[in-house]
Amino acid sequence: AGMGRTVVELFYDVISPYSWLAFEALCRYQHIWNIDLRFRPAFLAGIMQQTGNKPPAMLPKRAEYLLKDMKRMAKYYQVPLRMSADTFQHIMGTSSLTAMRFITAIDITNPQYLEPLSREFWMRFWSQHEDISQPENLLTVAQQAGLSAELSQKALEMISSATVKDRLKETTAEALKYGAFGVPAVVAHYDGEPHLFFGSDRLELLGSFIGEKWLGPVPS
């Protein structure tokens, strides 16, 4: 971390579309704001369970709104996120546990691939509407992110290890400790204190809080 940089942690899960928006916006701002951005892959279902939170789409009116909101947000944030009528069935029928363990394994072994790998998982699930839970699909995603077959295979083998399982549990527990009840959970370490900002639409507020200027979701 550079001099006086604000450490900003992004707790995310690739099953969460709003996490993708926050991720892309923060990736753009890490070169503009004086921040040290840290990606923290966590497990959304674990956070929901621990806090008693429910998926917003379980409320029909909210689900209806979410579809429209996501379309508008995707356009505004310039992220190729595609919503369809069966999006919610798609999410409900998928567990992100394997994907998040795979991402965690790469975070442990080759963290320089964390950003492109996470992005490819979102691309595959939220843009191409393809599976992200089967081993062969994890390898496809890794290949697209530029990982060698050797690295990908190693990460795949690590998924069932205590090291990876424990790390994902620890990161998820850390998000909860900061007060998260869902993702994206953005934690800014400012003035010696952690400050939680929830959602992809609070980055302007985050900037203001740490004394940085918000230039929209796609700063040129």
Structure token digits, residue 19: 């996490």
Instruction: Of 108, 81, 84, 101, give the one whose Cα is nearest residue 24.
Output: 81
Is 200 catalytic? The answer is no
pLDDT score, position 19:
98
Q: How confident is the model at residue 3 (pLDDT cuts 50, 70, 90)?
A: low
Calpha distance 147→142 (Å, rounded): 5
pLDDT score, position 2:
54
What pTM, to 2 d.p., does this model score? 0.96
Q: How does pLDDT run across 75-126, given as a tens digit for each residue?
A: 999 999 998 878 888 888 899 999 999 999 999 999 999 999 999 999 999 9
- Please enumerate in sequence order all residues whose Cβ is within 8 A of that of 62, keeping only pairs 6 or more positions apart, or say none: 56
Domains present along the chain, CATH in parentheses: 6-210 (3.40.30.10)
Structure token digits, residue 92: 């409900």
**The one catalytic residue among 16, 19, 118, 152:** 16
Q: Show the 3-state SS of 89-125.
A: HHHHCCCCHHHHHHHHHHHHHCHHHHHHHHHHHHHHH
